[in-house]
Amino acid sequence: MDTAGIRATAYLSAVLLLCNFNGLNYCTAISNVTRAQKVAVGETLTSPGQVFELGFFSPGSSSNQYVGIWYKNISVRKAIWVANREKPLTAADTSASLVIGSDGNLLILDGTNISVWSTNLSVGASEAFAVLLDNGDLVLKDGTSGESLWESFQFPGDTFLPGMKLGVNTITGERRFLSSWQTEDNPLPGLFSVGIVPESPAQAFVWKGSKPYWRTGPWNGVKFFGLPNTAAANLNGFSFQIDRNQGSAYFSITISSSSLVRIVVISPVGALKVLDWDEGTKKWNQWWQEPEGPCDVYGTCGAFGVCNQSRSPICRCMKGFVPKSNEEWRRGNWKGGCVRRTQLLCEKNGSHTSLESGKDDGFWQLSDLKLPDFPIYLNLDDATGCGIWCLNNCSCVAYASIEQVNCIVWVGDLLDVQESSLISAGSLFLRLTKSELGNKFAFKTLGIDGSFPDFSQVIFCFILPGNVKPKSKYIISFSVISALIFFGAIVCGYCRCKANQRGRNSEEFKNEIRLISKLQHRNLVRIMGCCIEGPELLIIYEYMSNKSLDNFLFDATERAQLDWPKRFKIILGIARGLLYLHHDSCLKIIHRDLKASNILLDKDMNPKISDFGLARSFRETQVLGNTRRVVGTFGYMSPEYITRGVFSEKSDVFSFGVLLLEILSSKKNTGFNNHGEHLNLLGYAWHLWSEGTGLELMDQLLAPSLSPVEKMRCLHVGLLCVQDNAIDRPTMSTVLNMLTGEADRPHPKRLSVTFRSNSDCNGQSQDRITSSRIDVTISIVEGR
Ligand SMILES: *[C@@H]1O[C@H](CO)[C@@H](O)[C@H](O)[C@H]1NC(C)=O
Ligand SMILES: *[C@@H]1O[C@H](CO)[C@@H](O)[C@H](O)[C@H]1NC(C)=O
Ligand SMILES: *[C@@H]1O[C@H](CO)[C@@H](O)[C@H](O)[C@H]1NC(C)=O
Ligand SMILES: *[C@@H]1O[C@H](CO)[C@@H](O)[C@H](O)[C@H]1NC(C)=O
Ligand SMILES: *[C@@H]1O[C@H](CO)[C@@H](O)[C@H](O)[C@H]1NC(C)=O
Ligand SMILES: *[C@@H]1O[C@H](CO)[C@@H](O)[C@H](O)[C@H]1NC(C)=O
Ligand SMILES: *[C@@H]1O[C@H](CO)[C@@H](O)[C@H](O)[C@H]1NC(C)=O
């Protein structure tokens, strides 16, 4: 651009043009201002492409004279920049001039050769010259180096042009902002200015004096959250460059079409307008303006007030808030805003760190809002963490999560909130006490030992079944759990259990959760907390990024990820976890529903036993339990449990044995189909073992040559665990010793039930099963 500008001067400098602007005749078009070449009244400096023009002018009916820049070609003349805004010349002064002074500065001299305006550079270059570029930038350059010494774009007026930057540099202290004219005829800086607040997330503002008058809402990297949608879409080419290292944040417009003439202007009365030149109608076409209505004006409804242009009155208080002064409010003076009706508990106690009381607060979602001012950006990965952070800090009154920005929080008053479906707004989560939220949306969260659960570890949730098998289980993401917890309604949808059908949503249940949550072992999933509200129950586990074992084991491709060392690690881990439950923990716990889908895997594929929903804890003296209802999962239940409802730790050992054989073979005990032979997995394993061909059971994806001894040992232990008689089965401590080769392994007894029930043979009973228990097993539907 610069070199082009200089090149163009050679043939354009002598061009003589006749033109007319505000009654002045311009006769000479000059291409550069030098020591020898001034711009006198009636002369103009033009940009090389004839786009812009600089000269002396008098706006409207003004009797003052200024040096300004305007679009040369546009018949409706509008000065986009004025040099001597604060130091006008009289219109009668026809001897004034724009010159390069002896110190190299660009000066405006009045008729008596007195400088009324100067570029004020301290190190002037005597060879300096000034040119007007085709983007409207007036540049003072060093004549020797060609380096730019000063630019009019550094000192914007009331008009923002493509190529200009608006913003700040916190390191150099530079601020570039628009300032309105005093009146349409007076370029003197007026009341209004336009600029950027660079704090993250950045916002653009119109200020009236030192007070905010209008704002865009936070910038999310793509758009301002708070502008009308139509504008947001049309603001194509508007961009924000934030360079934290350089300390700079600048807003700019890039226009892709060269024929489009677009400017942004702040009017003397504070209206920010976007104008496009329409060559057809020869008019400036204004397609966007802010503020448009009273709700757009900053803080119309005061703190914690919400403005909605379609309402009457336009202001109301947010949920849980009441007008600070009812009288003022009724009079239509809403600026005083609203105050909390019920103080937050943490506020009452004067403690800002009380997690205990923070737990009793919740969030109320407000949608389609222009988000409040003074947003604080937190660098969190997820919206849930944002809510947690907010709950844990009593000063935090709200949070929001918008596209591309996971976490914005507010402390102090919520100001300038507008409700409009036209705005590209976000949802605000307003902190309220539980009593304000109402039962429907409040979830009391129990943490381990009363502490607040650490939700930053994500989460595994399922319906706590009481003593009935869970219908469904969800492994859900962080953001969903956030929704679950904070939008209580959704939780209810997922996790509703009817209290009257359970009878266990009481203290007893809470005690059980408390007890279970005390268990800590690296092969048990940790319970982070649970939510109980009336009939709603939600248990929150630590997050297991690899979900459950069945997802790998029984998947045609995923199972390839489980090589032998991983599988052996998983087997040992489950055994250790179960041993802890049976023997080592302060409680004696029989799991009762051990199965592949209850083995969760963390990011390093460490197995963790989950789902204590069916577990019962016992004092050391109670060894056996008895229950009238048979619960558990078909395929994993021991014979004595199915037929007589008797369970003991040996029932778990049986389930472990089934699981072990499944891990070896990657086959489900229940869905097992061995080429028309009606063997179940246990029967098949027994068959191979007795034939001496046990290695054939192994998943074909396992390298056959790898650790055959370990594999066979596992098969052997598995068969010992699934023996018919509970008394023959080893305890988990023996199992563990046998798996590691430290204990001898007896010969497993022949299994009595080695054939699977088969109901897919035209209803004809193909069963050659001797046991009567099959009646029972058929009637139990498989869980998952
Ligand atoms: C300014 O324009 C004149 C012609 O009017 C030319 O001789 C001179 O070289 C130009 N100076 C610069 C610095 O471009
Ligand atoms: C100025 O206007 C003329 C005719 O109206 C047009 O041909 C020319 O391209 C315009 N120049 C610029 C820079 O817009
Ligand atoms: C202003 O300066 C110019 C050039 O130095 C000179 O020609 C002119 O006479 C001066 N005008 C007055 C009023 O001194
Ligand atoms: C130059 O400095 C003078 C005196 O400090 C000041 O009044 C004037 O506004 C400055 N001009 C510009 C363009 O900054
Ligand atoms: C302050 O907190 C404690 C628990 O930390 C609670 O028992 C007490 O009721 C609270 N006080 C008020 C005034 O809410
Ligand atoms: C709460 O958050 C505010 C804003 O980030 C912070 O200044 C304050 O120190 C926090 N308070 C606590 C107790 O963490
Ligand atoms: C604004 O108020 C009107 C009238 O009460 C209502 O219909 C509309 O939903 C409100 N706007 C929003 C975004 O809530």
- State pLDDT tens for residues 156-181: 999 999 989 999 988 888 899 999 99
Ligand 7, pocket-test mutation among 310, 369, 371, 422, most atoms within 8 A of CB: 310
Distance 761 CA to ligand 5 centre (A): 68
Kindly tell me if the per-residue pLDDT of 619 is higher than 60: no
Percent helix, percent strand, percent coil in the chain, to nearest 5: 25, 30, 45
> Where does the pLDDT of residue 752 fall: very low under 50, low under 70, confident under 90, or very high at 90 and above?
confident
Top-confidence range, 510-514, 651-655, 669-673: 651-655
Distance 146 CA to ligand 1 centre (A): 13
In the prediction, which pLDDT does 529 show? Answer: 57
**Counting atoms of ligand 6 from 1, which one is nearest the CA of 376?**
5
Closest ligand, as measured to the CA of 423: 7
Ligand 1, pocket-test mutation among 1, 15, 31, most atoms within 8 A of CB: 31
In the prediction, which pLDDT does 157 show? Answer: 96
**Counting atoms of ligand 1 from 1, which one is nearest the CA of 14?**
5
Residues near 763 by beta carbon (within 8 Å), at least 6 away in sequence: none
257 and 164 in a common domain: yes
**Counting atoms of ligand 1 from 1, which one is nearest the CA of 143?**
13
Kindly tell me if the per-residue pLDDT of 219 is higher than 60: yes
Closest ligand, as measured to the CA of 107: 4
The domain spanning residue 559 has which CATH number? 1.10.510.10
> Where does the pLDDT of residue 462 fall: very low under 50, low under 70, confident under 90, or very high at 90 and above?
very low
Closest ligand, as measured to the CA of 9: 1
Q: Which residue's CA is the nearest one to ligand 5's atom 11?
A: 349
245 and 121 in a common domain: no
CB of 235 sitting under 6 A from ligand 6:
no
Determine the structural domain holding residue 270 and report its residue range.
156-292
- Please check whether residue 682 lies inside any domain of the structure: yes
CB of 102 sitting under 6 A from ligand 7:
no
Question: What rounded mean pLDDT belongs to the chain?
Answer: 77
| For residues 475-480, average pLDDT | 38
The 8-class DSSP code of residue 219 comes to: B
394 or 337: which carries more pLDDT confidence? 337
The domain spanning residue 169 has which CATH number? 2.90.10
Closest ligand, as measured to the CA of 260: 2
At residue 407, what is the residue type? C
403 and 386 in a common domain: yes
Q: Which residue's CA is the nearest one to ligand 4's atom 5?
A: 120
Q: Show which of 138, 153, 168 is a domain's final residue.
A: 153
What confidence tens digit (pLDDT) does each residue in 520-550 have?
A: 889 988 766 555 544 445 566 666 778 789 9
- Please check whether residue 669 lies inside any domain of the structure: yes
366 or 26: which carries more pLDDT confidence? 366
261 and 342 in a common domain: no
Largest CA distance in the chain: 123
> Which of the residue ranges 281-285, 388-392, 418-422 would you say has the lowest mean pLDDT?
388-392
Kindly tell me if the per-residue pLDDT of 401 is higher than 60: yes
162 and 117 in a common domain: no
Q: Which residue's CA is the nearest one to ligand 4's atom 9?
A: 117
Of the listed 361, 373, 382, 593, which one is catalytic?
593
In the prediction, which pLDDT does 13 show? Answer: 31
Q: Show which of 410, 437, 464 is a domain's final residue.
A: 437
Ligand 7, pocket-test mutation among 419, 424, 427, most atoms within 8 A of CB: 419
> Which of the residue ranges 317-331, 614-628, 654-668 would you say has the lowest mean pLDDT?
614-628
Distance 73 CA to ligand 2 centre (A): 6
β-bridge pairing 536-542 and 178-183 = unpaired
Ligand 7, pocket-test mutation among 295, 307, 308, most atoms within 8 A of CB: 308
Top-confidence range, 191-205, 337-351, 735-749: 735-749
Closest ligand, as measured to the CA of 357: 5
Distance 349 CA to ligand 5 centre (A): 6
> Which of the residue ranges 174-188, 584-598, 645-659, 668-682 would you say has the lowest mean pLDDT?
668-682
Residues with CB under 6 A from ligand 2: 49-51, 73
Distance 113 CA to ligand 3 centre (A): 6
In the prediction, which pLDDT does 114 show? Answer: 95
192 and 101 in a common domain: no
What is the number of H-type helices and E-type strands within the chain?
A: 19, 47
Q: Give the relative orientation of helices 383-392 and 478-486 as an angle to the nearest 10 degrees.
A: 50
In the prediction, which pLDDT does 758 show? Answer: 37
CB of 61 sitting under 6 A from ligand 3:
no
**Alpha-carbon distance values, 236 to 240, 256, 286 (Å):** 12, 9, 16
Q: Which residue's CA is the nearest one to ligand 6's atom 11?
A: 393
Closest ligand, as measured to the CA of 356: 5
In the chain, how many domains are there?
A: 4
Kindly tell me if the per-residue pLDDT of 233 is higher than 60: no
**Alpha-carbon distance values, 169 to 243, 244, 601, 673 (Å):** 9, 9, 49, 72
Residue closest to 736 by CA, chosen among 717, 752, 749? 717
CB of 435 sitting under 6 A from ligand 5:
no
Q: Supply 313's token pair.
A: 């009155």
Distance 354 CA to ligand 5 centre (A): 10
Kindly tell me if the per-residue pLDDT of 186 is higher than 60: yes
245 and 167 in a common domain: yes
In the prediction, which pLDDT does 299 show? Answer: 94
250 and 220 in a common domain: yes
CB of 118 sitting under 6 A from ligand 4:
yes
- Please check whether residue 494 lies inside any domain of the structure: no
Q: Which residue's CA is the nearest one to ligand 6's atom 4?
A: 411
- Please check whether residue 644 lies inside any domain of the structure: yes
The domain spanning residue 147 has which CATH number? 2.90.10.10
CB of 115 sitting under 6 A from ligand 4:
no
Q: Which residue's CA is the nearest one to ligand 2's atom 6?
A: 73
423 and 337 in a common domain: yes
200 and 135 in a common domain: no
Q: Show which of 437, 457, 473 is a domain's final residue.
A: 437
| For residues 34-49, average pLDDT | 93
Q: Supply 435's token pair.
A: 């009593």
Distance 579 CA to ligand 1 centre (A): 93
- Hey, which residues does 26 pair with through a beta bridge? 19
- Please check whether residue 540 lies inside any domain of the structure: no
C-alpha 440 chain-centroid distance = 25
Distance 183 CA to ligand 4 centre (A): 22
In the prediction, which pLDDT does 586 show? Answer: 66
| For residues 570-599, average pLDDT | 87
**Counting atoms of ligand 2 from 1, which one is nearest the CA of 134?**
13
Kindly tell me if the per-residue pLDDT of 334 is higher than 90: yes
Share of the chain above pLDDT 90, in %: 43
Query: The whole model's pTM is what?
Result: 0.61
Rounded to whole angstroms, the Cα distance separating 41 from 26 reads 8
738 or 257: which carries more pLDDT confidence? 738
Distance 74 CA to ligand 5 centre (A): 71
Rounded to whole angstroms, the Cα distance separating 101 from 111 reads 15
What confidence tens digit (pLDDT) does each residue in 490-500 have?
A: 222 223 332 33
- Please check whether residue 502 lies inside any domain of the structure: no
188 and 147 in a common domain: no
Distance 72 CA to ligand 2 centre (A): 9
| DSSP states of 662-724 | HHHHT--SSS--BTTB-B-HHHHHHHHHHHT-GGGGS-TTS-TTS-HHHHHHHHHHHHHHT-S
- Please check whether residue 362 lies inside any domain of the structure: yes
CB 503 within 8 A of CB 486: no
Q: Which residue's CA is the nearest one to ligand 6's atom 1?
A: 393
Rounded to whole angstroms, the Cα distance separating 207 from 545 reads 49
Q: Which residue's CA is the nearest one to ligand 2's atom 1?
A: 73
Ligand 4, pocket-test mutation among 81, 119, 120, 179, most atoms within 8 A of CB: 120
Q: Does 593 qualify as catalytic in the annotation?
A: yes
Distance 74 CA to ligand 2 centre (A): 9
The H or E element containing residue 652 is: helix 649-665
CB of 154 sitting under 6 A from ligand 4:
no
Q: Which residue's CA is the nearest one to ligand 5's atom 1?
A: 349
Kindly tell me if the per-residue pLDDT of 244 is higher than 70: yes
Distance 308 CA to ligand 7 centre (A): 7
- Please check whether residue 509 lies inside any domain of the structure: no
700 and 748 in a common domain: yes
**Counting atoms of ligand 5 from 1, which one is nearest the CA of 354?**
5
* Helix residue ranges, H only, 246-289: none
> Which of the residue ranges 4-13, 68-77, 80-89, 626-635 would you say has the lowest mean pLDDT?
4-13
Rounded to whole angstroms, the Cα distance separating 629 from 512 reads 20
